[in-house]
Structure 1
């Protein structure tokens, strides 16, 4: 399957290559314009849709807050009425006829407020002391078992509001009410005692406040209490009671204020919550997302039609423009084919001062100078070979100078005089060998001394995070080598090997003679290199078909704090000077370490090669 897909893509690529420039320009203009339009359309669509959704959220929140404000205002007014009745009762007490002094103010208020249904004063044992209206109370009510009565006893110092219920205290009255109750002190028969004051308000007013709210065509508002989540008001309350409708009150109870989305009956809904202060009721606004997203559908439809119109328009314009652009290019193409066949005496007519005209003019100049450029190219290739060696050599500069000097400053500030001397001495020797009076070939002993000083500096900088060992056979005495070959490899061993190890690492540098060649080895016991990565590095070094991903190498050329010279540059320097039999070999095992081997010819004093 993979091979078939590869062949199909290759055929498509070959088909594209043989297409005319006019078709390519037409398709390119169309694709670019279409791509830009799609990107702009997506951005505008997201922006408009986001704005519409945010406005819907804000609108829902404002509506719920308005309901909350109206309800709080209403309940605050009823609380004030209750407070005035309580204060009048507290100040004047109960008269000799058993009627409290608040009879007249209650009747006055009841005459102006139709939502004030009844007032009852009860002993703590549930016996009526006084009641209005005066039509008589029903018998066998067991008032102490009423929820509003128990709420008043449980919170004797607070005004409590009951859930909506049918008021059945008085004969002939069956109204939906919300009961306000509180334990109040009264003076009765010359002594003060506690009694329960009950004031019933008509629930129709609260019902009216909520029914007038509109949250789209299907949205609504309902009210629950914050304790057990009991339903106080719902526009479909009967369906709630018989279990045909469900509200996610468990999730609502987690919020005092805010919004969330849920799904019910396959429809996504936006739920907005606001808590009524002083009462503990939660006002919940529910709106349906499909109504909120109507703007998105309208925007998406407009964008589709806009794209269709733009595509047709762009195709026509692109076909016309590409034909005008490709005509002189095709003429130049025919002339170039004649030159390809060896007709260097050809002179292409210049048809204008545009890009194609200038290209034709330069083409004529190019044909006349081909022979001259061939000769010049031979000379430049030789100069390039020499300059590449100089450029590679010039890249070897120790960029870690600033970090090393900062380390010296910190050590001096800490009073580590001996360490400062060691660092400065090593740094001095390091740069002395790096410069080498401009010489590129130095003794092997100097190269080993150079890398030793580098390791001393880095060991201090890395706070003894690694140990090192440098050994050399007697056979290498008197041999010469290119300078600055080992330091980049040691730098890699530190940065990519032992630096990331949790335990102290070890770096070994060895020089000896093997198989008639000078061999340097840099070995570390660090993290090693993955097999795939090692294969990529070898392919880049030796060109064994393919190239590393993204052109990256596992060396210090990609690090800002490295030497600026990596494995590849070291290998190229050796190859440029000594040829293909010499160079660099890398071996590594993950979690075992890495070994880099350099092979060089045996050079004696005077540059004599053995």
Structure 2
């Protein structure tokens, strides 16, 4: 019962640094960013390489099998050419075939002897030949010679299908697939399968080229085996040679007729010369080639485990490379996370010191990156704050000038607090790329705010800063609002007080749009008419109650400061500050006016003089 809370507590302790420490988050992100692509592309590379190795092997094996088939064809062609040797001694062969047994004479015997010597010399000069047989038109074996010293029996082959077919071919060769010549009298142990070419012997002296008998030239089937044995094979490879009838001519492994029939049938229906076949549950790569001359098939079956061994070295290389890259990823991730978080830690320590009232704290700045710019801005902010406090005690300013500086100081910390809150929200979502952009924009806003130039700036410059501010807020609010601009080109050079737009836009976001669940809009319009320059900031937010609008507008018209509009919300303070500054610089004829209604949005109208050359310090 206590194991589950213990496990939960352990997981909480494990992920606690990840939730609280930016360094661990960055480290994890860098590791994932580097290792995931490496793993993906490594796996993809291995698969593609292994596939290429397999395809190359299939091409290689197909070439080998095709060459084996051609060697077998050449062997059969050689046997066919040997069968033509009968026509070199036709003057002796024809008398032996055509002389009846009752008419045997001295001339017959002399022809028989010369023919026998000739056929014996042919047998002895060609080690591929196993036997030569002559059969008369009556199917009687007239002559037989072989290397096993066998002799012909009295058996007739007149009714044998091959004999009739050979006669019908009238001199063309008939290939007989491996068989045993039953008409040869040898011991049972010496009866070996032979491959034969049967050819009708044609009497070229007659006009009709009539057959006089049949010549049978035999070759031991072992010659086919020698052809395959002289070819390199893979471990576990099964080699098969099938005749045109589908019968096995040669196989280096005993296979059932059912398996052979399946392989033959599958190879017959394939357009490619390779396919998969499962033999006893083992996946086999099957390649084949069919002879175009004799329709024989040479088939090879190789276990896929042998192919996998060929690509094993690729797997080892990819695995080694992956391990090296992962180690590098860890090292680089640690270095980068340390590089990024160390300045942030220093900035956090300085902020805490500043929060405690230490105005002597400074950040040591190196480089020109965004974090360095924030550090510089922080140092300038602390220095300026220190100077303002010192000035408060060391010198007395005019009342209006003191009020202006006090109003500016109220705006800046308020903006800083809200912006840093937005950046923290984005960082909590682990969106570090966008956080970096927000930090850059914040740095630019700090530089703009703390610039020692005049208080009046071109409207284009103020508008650019408000775009950056809204860009920061868009990251936080996640597309919960859209911004539209309607700006006359002629007002871009008009002068405006620094930080006039930002408090109003901020108020529209946080008090107008944020409480509203639906997606909202902010519209910024700037127009110039005669001597006045008007800016309208409209939001589609929650709106303000009519009685409250009357109070705010009355206070703005009277030029009241923050005290007269302080209702406990930052929004009222920001609007009052902007209104007071405008009236101080340009007079009571200018300032802010608000129109609103509950759930109908709010519009803030800013009236300024249309003075493009105005300047104030």
Instruction: Tell me the TM-score normalized by structure 1.
Output: 0.54
The residue correspondences of 1:251-266 to structure 2 (distance < 5 A) are 251-255=266-270, 258-266=273-281
Cα deviation, 1:461-498, whole Å, max 9, x if unaligned, reads xxxxxxxxxxxxxxxxxxxxxxxxxxxxxxxxxxxxxx
The number of aligned residues is 397
- Structure 2 CA distance for partners of 1:287 and 1:328, relative to 1, 3 Å: same
1:349 positional shift: 2.5
Which residue of the partner structure matches residue 20 of structure 1?
21
The residue correspondences of 1:549-568 to structure 2 (distance < 5 A) are none
Residue 77 in structure 1 maps to residue 95 in structure 2: no
The whole-number CA distance in structure 1 between the counterparts of 2:465 and 2:334 is 49
The residue correspondences of 1:225-264 to structure 2 (distance < 5 A) are 225-226=243-244, 228-237=245-254, 239-240=255-256, 248-255=263-270, 258-264=273-279
Residue 97 in structure 1 maps to residue 108 in structure 2: yes
The whole-number CA distance in structure 1 between the counterparts of 2:155 and 2:81 is 32
Cα deviation, 1:544-582, whole Å, max 9, x if unaligned, reads 6479xxxxxxxxxxxxxxxxxxxx99xx9xxx999979x
Residue 222 in structure 1 maps to residue 240 in structure 2: yes
Question: In 1, are the aligned partners of 2:151 and 2:185 still within 8 Å (CA)?
Answer: yes
Cα deviation, 1:27-71, whole Å, max 9, x if unaligned, reads 223222322431342233124312321232133123213322322
* Bigger mean CA deviation after superposition, 202-211 or 30-39: 30-39
Residue 350 in structure 1 maps to residue 367 in structure 2: no
CA RMSD of aligned residues (A): 4.8
Which residue of the partner structure matches residue 498 of structure 2?
none
The whole-number CA distance in structure 2 between the counterparts of 1:253 and 1:221 is 17
* Bigger mean CA deviation after superposition, 264-273 or 168-177: 168-177
The residue correspondences of 1:158-557 to structure 2 (distance < 5 A) are 158-172=172-186, 174-186=191-203, 193-194=210-211, 195-226=213-244, 228-237=245-254, 239-240=255-256, 248-255=263-270, 258-312=273-327, 314-316=329-331, 318-336=333-351, 348-355=362-369, 356-365=371-380, 371=412, 373=449, 380=463, 388=484, 390=486, 545=518
The whole-number CA distance in structure 1 between the counterparts of 2:261 and 2:208 is 52
- Structure 2 CA distance for partners of 1:293 and 1:230, relative to 1, 3 Å: same
The whole-number CA distance in structure 1 between the counterparts of 2:379 and 2:295 is 91
The whole-number CA distance in structure 1 between the counterparts of 2:462 and 2:238 is 88
1:204 positional shift: 1.4
Cα deviation, 1:277-299, whole Å, max 9, x if unaligned, reads 42221111221111111133443
- Structure 2 CA distance for partners of 1:103 and 1:544, relative to 1, 3 Å: farther
Cα deviation, 1:425-478, whole Å, max 9, x if unaligned, reads xxxxxxxxxxxxxxxxxxxxxxxxxxxxxxxxxxxxxxxxxxxxxxxxxxxxxx
Question: In 1, are the aligned partners of 2:141 and 2:153 still within 8 Å (CA)?
Answer: no
The whole-number CA distance in structure 2 between the counterparts of 1:240 and 1:39 is 45
3-state DSSP of counterpart to 1:168: coil
Which residue of the partner structure matches residue 397 of structure 2?
none
- Structure 2 CA distance for partners of 1:383 and 1:203, relative to 1, 3 Å: closer
Cα deviation, 1:491-523, whole Å, max 9, x if unaligned, reads xxxxxxxxxxxxxxxxxxxxxxxxxxxxxxxxx
3-state DSSP of counterpart to 1:116: coil
Question: In 1, are the aligned partners of 2:141 and 2:156 still within 8 Å (CA)?
Answer: no
1:347 positional shift: 6.0
Residue 48 in structure 1 maps to residue 64 in structure 2: no
1:265 positional shift: 1.3
- Structure 2 CA distance for partners of 1:167 and 1:351, relative to 1, 3 Å: same
Which residue of the partner structure matches residue 403 of structure 2?
none
Question: In 1, are the aligned partners of 2:79 and 2:217 still within 8 Å (CA)?
Answer: no
The whole-number CA distance in structure 1 between the counterparts of 2:30 and 2:539 is 50
Question: In 1, are the aligned partners of 2:139 and 2:157 still within 8 Å (CA)?
Answer: yes
The whole-number CA distance in structure 1 between the counterparts of 2:66 and 2:207 is 48
The whole-number CA distance in structure 2 between the counterparts of 1:334 and 1:130 is 115
The whole-number CA distance in structure 2 between the counterparts of 1:391 and 1:160 is 99
Question: In 2, are the aligned partners of 1:221 and 1:285 still within 8 Å (CA)?
Answer: yes
- Structure 2 CA distance for partners of 1:21 and 1:155, relative to 1, 3 Å: farther
Question: In 2, are the aligned partners of 1:60 and 1:215 still within 8 Å (CA)?
Answer: no
1:224 positional shift: 0.8
Question: In 1, are the aligned partners of 2:199 and 2:216 still within 8 Å (CA)?
Answer: yes
Cα deviation, 1:336-380, whole Å, max 9, x if unaligned, reads 4566x5979676323322533333113445676864859989974
The whole-number CA distance in structure 2 between the counterparts of 1:157 and 1:546 is 96
3-state DSSP of counterpart to 2:349: helix
Ranges in structure 2 where 5+ consecutive residues have no aligned partner: 1-11, 97-106, 385-407, 413-447, 471-482, 489-515, 526-535, 542-617
Q: Which of 126, 140, 144 matches 1:127?
A: 140
The whole-number CA distance in structure 2 between the counterparts of 1:546 and 1:183 is 99
Question: In 1, are the aligned partners of 2:140 and 2:154 still within 8 Å (CA)?
Answer: no
The whole-number CA distance in structure 1 between the counterparts of 2:184 and 2:466 is 117
Cα deviation, 1:10-38, whole Å, max 9, x if unaligned, reads x99x9687332221232223222322431
3-state DSSP of counterpart to 2:86: helix
Which residue of the partner structure matches residue 511 of structure 1?
none
Which residue of the partner structure matches residue 424 of structure 1?
none
Question: In 2, are the aligned partners of 1:90 and 1:185 still within 8 Å (CA)?
Answer: no
3-state DSSP of counterpart to 1:293: helix
The whole-number CA distance in structure 2 between the counterparts of 1:257 and 1:379 is 73
* Bigger mean CA deviation after superposition, 366-375 or 60-69: 366-375
Question: In 1, are the aligned partners of 2:46 and 2:314 still within 8 Å (CA)?
Answer: yes
- Structure 2 CA distance for partners of 1:19 and 1:312, relative to 1, 3 Å: farther
Question: In 2, are the aligned partners of 1:94 and 1:186 still within 8 Å (CA)?
Answer: no
The whole-number CA distance in structure 1 between the counterparts of 2:519 and 2:240 is 69
- Structure 2 CA distance for partners of 1:382 and 1:181, relative to 1, 3 Å: closer
The whole-number CA distance in structure 2 between the counterparts of 1:333 and 1:223 is 82
3-state DSSP of counterpart to 1:85: helix
Ranges in structure 1 where 5+ consecutive residues have no aligned partner: 1-10, 393-542, 548-567, 582-610
The whole-number CA distance in structure 2 between the counterparts of 1:90 and 1:361 is 118
The whole-number CA distance in structure 2 between the counterparts of 1:286 and 1:90 is 50
Instruction: Tell me the TM-score normalized by structure 2.
Output: 0.53
- Structure 2 CA distance for partners of 1:109 and 1:258, relative to 1, 3 Å: same
3-state DSSP of counterpart to 2:60: helix
- Structure 2 CA distance for partners of 1:61 and 1:159, relative to 1, 3 Å: same
